[in-house]
Structure 1
Amino acid sequence: MQTMFVVFFIFISLFFGVWRRFNEWYSTLLFWIIGDLLYASLLHDFRVWEFHPVWVDHFILPTHTLISTAIAFFIYPSVIVVFLGRFPSSFFHRIGWIILWAVIFESIEIIAYVNKSIFHHYGWTLGWSFLITSLLFLY
């Protein structure tokens, strides 16, 4: 399941990403990756969400750590070059763009949740994920 998401976002970035301006967003990419790795290391024993391999993931991304690493190093760069590369200039279009990407991420998490590819712990819910994702795209 997670492998399919990685491949999906790589294809999206190849078709819609603005890779020529990648150096402008490099610091944003580092912020996302460092934040994700910091969460993974500090809360290793108290994860609020945990990835489990399903389908082909058992062969390609068989552990939570490998899935998280693939997300950080493949999905995040792919998302950033599309999200920031095509970021609108008008205020209302910006709001819509942020909401669209938050909904895309939430939809993917719902698909993963339904397929038992992600499990929530310690009171974490899909609602919390949507809030945090919205804030992540907002800043």
Structure 2
Amino acid sequence: MHIILTIVSIIAVWIRGDHREWKKYYTTMQYIAIGNLTYNFLCASHWLWRLSPDIKWFNHTILEMAYTFIVFPFTALMFLSHYPENEGRWRVIRHYLFWIGLYVAIEFVLMVQGSILYKYGWSLGWSALFDCLMFPFLRLHFKKPLFTLIVSVPIAIFWLWLFEIPVYLPIEQR
């Protein structure tokens, strides 16, 4: 399923023509990639969710790299390049609901297949809530990148606190 999602992301960006606008959205594509890298770094020993490879040679590291550098940035590209800028509030709400719903539906399938594992209280519900924050933050980052980076820090700290993620080692363990 993970390989299929990666390939579908590449094909969708190409067929929809979104690849032509990558420079316009590049910094937000980096923002989502850096966010995923940060999660993987901070939660390496205390992961809340972990993707389980479908194929042995497609190990966890390669799998995370595929999501970090292809699936998530291409999602940001597709989400932003078709954002209904001046088409009314209802179109904007539908756009958000589509992408949040798509992410939740895909994660539900991954969960049922055993391709995503949850730990330390994380669940599909928490992922859905996270998606409800992530997509507006992608748009906000595109419009106001510095502000978004500043606001992202306390939100990240809140998530770390909420799920009791240890971000330091006691002196005796160093």
TM-score of the aligned structures, taking structure 2 as reference length: 0.74
- Higher relative contact order, structure no. (Cα contacts within 8 Å, ≥ 6 residues apart): 1
Contact 1:17/1:78 (<8 A) preserved? no
SS in 2 for 1:99: helix
User: In the alignment, what sits opposite 1:23?
Assistant: 23
Contact 1:32/1:76 (<8 A) preserved? yes
Separation in 1 of the partners of 2:76 and 2:121? 29
Residue 80 of structure 1 aligns to which amino acid in structure 2? A
Separation in 2 of the partners of 1:132 and 1:21? 26
Give the number of aligned pairs.
Answer: 135
Separation in 2 of the partners of 1:109 and 1:124? 13
Residue 112 of structure 1 aligns to which amino acid in structure 2? L
Tell me if 1:45 matches 2:45.
yes
Separation in 2 of the partners of 1:126 and 1:40? 18
Bigger radius of gyration: 2
Give the 5 Å matches for 1:1-139: 1-54=1-54, 57-59=55-57, 61-63=58-60, 65-89=61-85, 90-139=88-137
Cα shift at 1:17: 4.1
Separation in 1 of the partners of 2:38 and 2:91? 32
RMSD, aligned α-carbons: 1.2
Give the share of equivalent positions with the same residue, in percent.
Answer: 27
Contact 1:17/1:82 (<8 A) preserved? no
Contact 1:17/1:85 (<8 A) preserved? no
The runs of at least 4 aligned residues of structure 1 exceeding 6 Å deviation read none
SS in 2 for 1:123: coil
Return 5+ residue gaps in structure 2 as ranges: 138-174
Separation in 2 of the partners of 1:126 and 1:17? 31
Contact 2:9/2:71 (<8 A) preserved? yes
